[in-house]
């Protein structure tokens, strides 16, 4: 019986290992059999079995993946093609036995099969081979998209083509080209030449993160645009790789570049330059008929360039300040019985919808287009979470899910301070892998309106294409897994295929991808004498993930504050991490939250005494966040100590509604007797400094328990984001010296 059981177990292990292929996104079915099919240096094909474009693509894939020659052989080709009828959309199969057979239902699916075949190939001493196997595959979602913002930073036609190449190798089929924004207009419009003569160029660009004050600017002319001929070339290039381009022309907001060229289409008519700062700006297109006509004229030139179904009209982040004080906008509201400016935006978008629909296309817009009523034919791209998309789907509108939580590739992908500057937020490879555009428990009726998902790559902090690659890869591969594969493997299996089979391929293509997912995860643990950093890292051994941990102890220091650095993997820049520990008397001390932090930003009380300072721009986990304006907490030093200063550090980030406090009161409590019995009050101090990030409070005397009362503004002052609401207070460290 025991033998029987162990035989059965080993079979299970064998079969479950055998079902993992090197194809990403993972195919729906993969069955490997004994043996392999030797290809060596050239693969023969009967070219008459597929169209000439597919044959060209096959030759290109052969070269780019493996330097493999594709040679014609009419009689006895190694690779044969068969057309399938009446099967799921875009499904294909690959059978590798005495020869290779690709069966496909559409030209796109034939291309997908070819990319899968390339990913199956391995090399031995004779050249290339593939394991004998059977692959059956089809996409789970029909919209598998990547977006790229070329307005904040501009990328050349060659770079855009490389972006399309890479996405097509991972079975993406939609490229959302964000062509216009406040900081640049990037598409030639012949009727309005100033859009590119003036709107494509800015005179300065903000340095550093835009929340870093005081701001400095690089005063250099920056910009670029695509001619209509270049656009046609890119569209044809993408089409040959089964990628549809969705152009985005932003309206009514994010319009500063267009209005720099044609200020007459704003509400004020006042000329302003192309914006050099990132953010949201009050000057948007006026809703008057002349502005609507201007945008229709632009769409007249945009629509014929893009053969796909959808035109993206933006619709996000349009402040209504100018519309509110514009007599023309207010007249339009009265004439059309619109109750507020949201309804005016809806009225604006409806006109675009009718115009685009009459031309046989459909509009898609960011989820703000729901506000004030969704236009009849509009599809929605849900970016502020899933809710907008769900609401639109319930109303019977098509939806693409791009929630910031899973799909914003301008967020950090690693927690380390070594990550290159990003806008903020944290969206790890694993988080992307777990993405499902259809939230749990959604019925089939509503789900049927969810077309799929997309990642967005906003480029405020991505000035070079190599950094686009860094932010996109490998997260785009995890996204393709989430969107393509109806029965995803576990994250561990995905990661091991990614690292073993795809990282070498990306290396060969010289893609500047990130290895942050392989960086050690570092936890701070409280010890009796201070803290310990425990670094745990994953490596792939024999196709399995192995974890290894190392600890770095720190004993709380009685001396003046000193800073020590731990470097993990100093030898390899791609996974290196440096962590600075600023030692002090309260390192690892017990902290009691009298006021509970918000559960959203509570990484544990150790964060306040771990000797580590939060990153700026903040990423969340290194800070403790409170959504109240009076905070009380206590620190117990464990024994009576003589101290001379208390330093508390906060975050001031008005754009994230986080304000540093105005007042701190320190009280101290210490035992009356050396055996700890009885309590008496120690010295107390009081500091007042509005919105100060760093508080340095001198303290004279002995103490054991310190009670800190922190008070912030009761509400966010007028004129600042989220005015009138209680500000957040974020603390990263309480140092005691």
Kindly list the catalytic residues.
Answer: 181, 254, 317
φ, ψ dihedrals at 104, nearest 5°: -140, 155
- Please compute, for residue 11, the number of CA atoms within 13 A of its CA located in the half-sphere on the CB side: 6
Q: How far is the CB of 289 from Zn ion (least distance, A)?
A: 11
Out of ligand ACM, Zn ion, none, what residue 316 binds, judged by CB under 5 to 8 A for its kind, is ligand ACM
Cβ closer to ligand ACM: 175 or 383?
383
The DSSP code for 266 is B
Question: How far is residue 531's CA from residue 481's CA, in Å, rounded to a whole number?
Answer: 39
Distance CA 188, CA 368 (A): 27
Q: How far is the CB of 469 from ligand ACM (least distance, A)?
A: 21
**CA atoms within a 13 Å half-sphere pointing along the CA-CB vector of 354:** 7
Q: Binding segment for Zn ion among 267-275, 467-475, 566-574, 598-606 (CB under 5 A)?
A: 267-275
141 contact, one of Zn ion, ligand ACM, none, CB 5-8 Å limit per kind: none
Residue 374, contacted partner among Zn ion, ligand ACM, none, CB below 5-8 A by kind: none
User: For ligand ACM, what does the binding mask look like between residues 69 and 88, x meaning CB under 6 A?
Assistant: --------------------
Closer of 211 and 287 to Zn ion (Cβ): 287
Half-sphere exposure of 465 (CA within 13 A, CB side): 14
Among 233, 282, 316, 634, binds ligand ACM (CB under 6 A): 316
Q: Name every residue whose Cβ is closer than 8 Å to that of residue 390 and which is 6 or more positions away in sequence.
A: 382, 399, 439, 442, 446
Which residue is associated with the tokens 């903020």?
Answer: 424
Sole residue written with tokens 């701001």 = 215
Residue 366 touching ligand ACM (CB under 6 A): yes
* Minimum separation from the CB atom of position 318 to ligand ACM (A): 10
Residue 317: name its binding partner from ligand ACM, Zn ion, none (Cβ under 5 to 8 Å by kind).
ligand ACM
Element housing 112 (H / E): helix 107-120
Measured CA to CA, the distance from residue 504 to residue 498 in angstroms comes to 9
Element (H, E) at 468: helix 465-472
Least Cβ distance, residue 333 to Zn ion (angstroms): 10
HSE, side-chain direction, 13 A CA sphere, residue 559: 4
Of 403 and 611, the one with the shorter C-beta distance to ligand ACM is 403
Residue whose CB is less far from Zn ion, 135 or 286: 286
Distance of CA 297 to the CA centre of its chain: 33
**Which residue, 79 or 455, is less far from ligand ACM as judged by CB?**
455
298 binds, among Zn ion, ligand ACM, none (CB under 5 to 8 A by kind): none
Of Zn ion, ligand ACM, none, which one sits near residue 328, judging by CB under 5 to 8 A according to partner kind?
Answer: Zn ion
Cα dist from 113 to 21, 175, 256, 278, 464, whole Å? 14, 20, 44, 42, 32
CA distance 418 to 328: 51
Q: Which is nearer to ligand ACM, 383 or 470 (CB)?
A: 383
- CB nearer ligand ACM, residue 262 or residue 366: 366
Q: Which one of Zn ion, ligand ACM, none interacts with residue 366, CB within 5 to 8 A by kind?
A: ligand ACM
> CB of residue 180 vs ligand ACM: minimum separation in angstroms?
13
From residue 328 to residue 357, what is the string marking binding to ligand ACM with x (rule CB under 6 A)?
------------------------------
User: Dihedrals φ, ψ of 199, to 5°?
Assistant: -70, -15
Q: Which is nearer to Zn ion, 321 or 711 (CB)?
A: 321
Residue (60 or 317) nearer to Zn ion, CB: 317
CA dist., res. 170 & res. 477, Å (int)? 7
Q: Give the range of 199-207, 321-329, 479-487, 566-574 binding Zn ion by CB under 5 A.
A: 321-329
Helix, strand, coil shares, percent, the chain, to 5: 30, 30, 40
Give the nearest distance from C-beta 317 to ligand ACM in angstroms. 5
Pick left, alpha or beta for residue 579 (phi over 0 → left; psi -120 to 50 → alpha; otherwise beta): beta
x/- map, 323-362, Zn ion, by CB under 5 A: ---x-xx---------------------------------
Q: CB 25 → ligand ACM: shortest distance, Å?
A: 25
Which runs of consecutive H residues, i.e. helices, occur in 620-720?
none
In the region spanning residues 481 to 500, those forming contacts with Zn ion, defined by CB under 5 A, are none
Residue from 317, 340, 343, 391 binding ligand ACM (CB under 6 A): 317
Q: Which is nearer to ligand ACM, 383 or 626 (CB)?
A: 383
Residue 671 CB contacts under 8 Å (≥ 6 apart), including other chains: 640, 677, 678, 679, 680, 704
List the beta strands (DSSP E) in 605-653: 624-626, 630-650
End-to-end Cα distance, the chain: 67
Q: Is 383 near ligand ACM (CB under 6 A)?
A: yes
Contacts of residue 556, defined as CB under 8 A and 6 or more positions apart, other chains included, come to 529, 530, 531, 583, 584, 585, 586, 587, 588, 589
# residues near ligand ACM by CB under 6 A: 4
Binding residues for Zn ion, total number by CB under 5 A: 5
Is the backbone peptide bond immediately before 322 cis, with ω within 30 degrees of 0?
no
Nearest-angstrom CA–CA distance, 100 and 84: 16
Kindly write out the interface string for residues 268-307 of this chain, putting x where it contacts ligand ACM by CB under 6 A and - elsewhere.
----------------------------------------
- Give the integer Cα–Cα distance in Å for 367 and 338: 20
Least Cβ distance, residue 371 to ligand ACM (angstroms): 14
The two beta strands, 450-457 and 143-149, are parallel
Q: Minimum distance from CB of 288 to Zn ion (Å)?
A: 6
The label of the residue with tokens 């729901």 reads 370
Give the one entry of Zn ion, ligand ACM, none that residue 329 binds, where binding means its C-beta sits below a cut-off of 5 to 8 angstroms depending on kind. Zn ion
CB closer to ligand ACM out of 273 and 404: 404
The residues near 676 (Cβ < 8 Å, ≥ 6 apart) are none
Closest-by-Cβ residue to ligand ACM is 316
| 251 contact choice in ligand ACM, Zn ion, none (CB below 5 to 8 Å, kind-dependent) | none
C-alpha span between 310 and 321 (Å, rounded): 30
Which listed option, ligand ACM, Zn ion, none, makes contact with residue 267 (CB within 5 to 8 Å by class)?
Answer: Zn ion
Residue 647 interaction partner, one of Zn ion, ligand ACM, none, beta carbon < 5-8 Å per kind: none
Phi, then psi, of 450 in degrees rounded to 5: -90, 105
| For Zn ion, the closer CB: 269 or 714 | 269
Shortest distance in whole angstroms from residue 366 CB to ligand ACM: 5
Choose from ligand ACM, Zn ion, none: what does 286 bind? Cβ within 5-8 Å by kind.
Zn ion
Residue 122 binds: one of ligand ACM, Zn ion, none (C-beta under 5 to 8 A by kind) = none
* Whole-angstrom distance, CA of residue 133 vs CA of residue 671: 75
CB atoms within 10 A of CB 204: 17
Scanning residues 514 to 543, which ones bind ligand ACM (CB under 6 A)?
A: none
Instruction: Yes or no: say if 459 and 149 are a contact pair by the CB < 8 Å rule.
Output: yes
Give the separation between CA 222 and CA 380, rounded to whole angstroms.
Answer: 32
Stretch that binds Zn ion, among 262-270, 412-420, 617-625, 707-715 (CB under 5 A): 262-270
Task: Spell out, one character per residue from 279 to 298, where the chain touches Zn ion: x when CB under 5 A holds, - when not.
Answer: -------x------------
Nearest to Zn ion of 267, 400 (CB atom): 267
Could you say whether residue 412 binds ligand ACM (CB under 6 A)? no
> How far, CA to CA in Å, does 458 sit from each of 181, 468, 511?
11, 9, 19
Q: How far is the CB of 284 from ligand ACM (least distance, A)?
A: 14
Interacting residues with Zn ion (CB under 5 A): 267, 286, 326, 328-329
Interacting residues with ligand ACM (CB under 6 A): 316-317, 366, 383
């Amino acid at each position: 019986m025991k033998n029987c059981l162990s035989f059965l177990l080993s079979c299970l292990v064998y079969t479950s290992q055998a079902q993992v292929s090197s194809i990403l996104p993972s195919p729906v079915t993969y069955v490997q059999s004994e043996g392999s099919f030797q290809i060596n240096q050239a693969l023969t094909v009967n070219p008459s079995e597929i169209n000439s474009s597919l044959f060209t693509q096959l030759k290109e894939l052969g070269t780019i993946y493996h330097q493999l020659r594709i040679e014609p052989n009419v009689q006895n080709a190694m690779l044969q093609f068969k057309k399938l009828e009446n099967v799921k959309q875009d499904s294909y199969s690959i059978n590798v036995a005495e020869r290779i057979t690709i069966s496909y239902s559409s030209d796109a699916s034939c291309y997908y099969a070819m990319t899968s075949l390339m990913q199956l190939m391995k090399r031995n001493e004779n050249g290339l081979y593939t394991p004998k196997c059977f692959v059956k595959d089809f996409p789970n979602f029909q919209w598998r998209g990547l977006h790229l913002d070329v307005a904040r930073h501009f990328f050349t036609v060659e770079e855009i083509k490389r972006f399309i190449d890479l996405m097509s190798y991972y079975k993406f089929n939609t490229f959302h080209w964000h062509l216009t924004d406040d900081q640049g207009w990037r598409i030639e419009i012949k009727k309005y030449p100033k859009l590119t003569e003036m709107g494509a160029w800015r005179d300065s660009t903000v340095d550093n993160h835009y929340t870093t004050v005081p701001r400095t600017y690089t005063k250099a002319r920056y910009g670029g645009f695509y001619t209509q001929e270049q656009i046609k070339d890119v569209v044809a290039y993408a089409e040959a790789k089964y990628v549809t381009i969705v152009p985005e022309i932003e309206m009514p907001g994010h319009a500063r570049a267009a209005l720099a060229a044609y200020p007459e289409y704003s509400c004020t008519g006042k000329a302003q330059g192309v914006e050099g700062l990132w953010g949201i700006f009050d000057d948007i297109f006026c809703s008057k008929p002349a502005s609507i006509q201007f945008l229709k004229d632009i769409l007249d030139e945009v629509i014929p360039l893009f053969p796909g179904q959808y035109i993206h009209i933006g619709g996000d982040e349009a402040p209504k300040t100018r519309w509110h004080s514009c007599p023309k906008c207010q007249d339009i509201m009265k004439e059309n019985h619109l109750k507020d400016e949201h309804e005016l935006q809806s009225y604006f978008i409806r006109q675009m919808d009718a115009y685009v629909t009459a031309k046989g296309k459909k509009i898609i817009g960011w989820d703000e287009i729901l506000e004030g009523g969704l236009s009849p034919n509009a599809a929605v791209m849900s970016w502020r979470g899933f809710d907008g998309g769900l609401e639109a789907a319930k109303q019977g509108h098509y939806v693409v899910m791009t929630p910031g939580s899973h799909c914003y590739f301008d967020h950090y992908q690693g927690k380390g301070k070594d990550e290159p500057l990003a806008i903020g937020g944290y969206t790890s490879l694993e988080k992307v892998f777990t993405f499902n555009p259809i939230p749990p428990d959604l019925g089939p009726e509503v789900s049927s309106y969810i077309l799929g998902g997309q990642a967005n790559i906003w480029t405020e902090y991505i000035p070079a294409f190599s950094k686009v690659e860094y932010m996109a890869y490998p997260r785009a591969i995890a996204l393709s897994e989430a969107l393509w594969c109806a029965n995803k493997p576990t994250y561990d299996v995905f990661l091991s295929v990614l690292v073993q089979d795809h990282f070498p391929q990306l290396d060969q293509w010289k893609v500047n991808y990130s290895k942050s997912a392989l960086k050690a995860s570092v936890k701070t643990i409280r010890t009796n004498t201070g803290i310990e950093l425990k670094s745990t890292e994953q490596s792939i051994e024999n196709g399995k993930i192995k974890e290894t941990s190392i600890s770095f102890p720190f004993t709380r220091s009685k001396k003046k504050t000193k800073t020590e650095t731990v470097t993990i993997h100093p030898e390899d820049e791609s996974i290196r991490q440096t962590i600075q520990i600023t030692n002090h008397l309260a390192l690892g001390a017990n902290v009691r939250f009298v006021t509970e932090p918000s559960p959203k930003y509570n990484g544990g009380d150790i964060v306040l005494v771990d000797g580590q300072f939060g990153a700026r721009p903040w990423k969340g986990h290194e800070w403790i966040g409170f959504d109240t304006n009076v905070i009380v907490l206590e620190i117990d030093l464990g024994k009576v100590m003589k101290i001379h200063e208390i330093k508390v550090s906060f975050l001031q980030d008005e754009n994230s509604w986080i304000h540093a406090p105005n007042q701190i009161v320190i009280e101290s409590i210490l035992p009356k007797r050396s055996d700890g019995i009885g309590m008496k009050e120690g010295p107390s101090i009081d500091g007042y400094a509005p919105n100060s990030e760093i508080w340095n409070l001198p303290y004279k005397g002995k103490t054991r328990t310190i009670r800190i009362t922190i008070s912030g503004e009761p509400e966010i002052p007028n004129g600042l984001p989220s005015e009138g609401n209680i500000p957040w207070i974020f603390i990263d460290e309480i140092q005691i010296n």
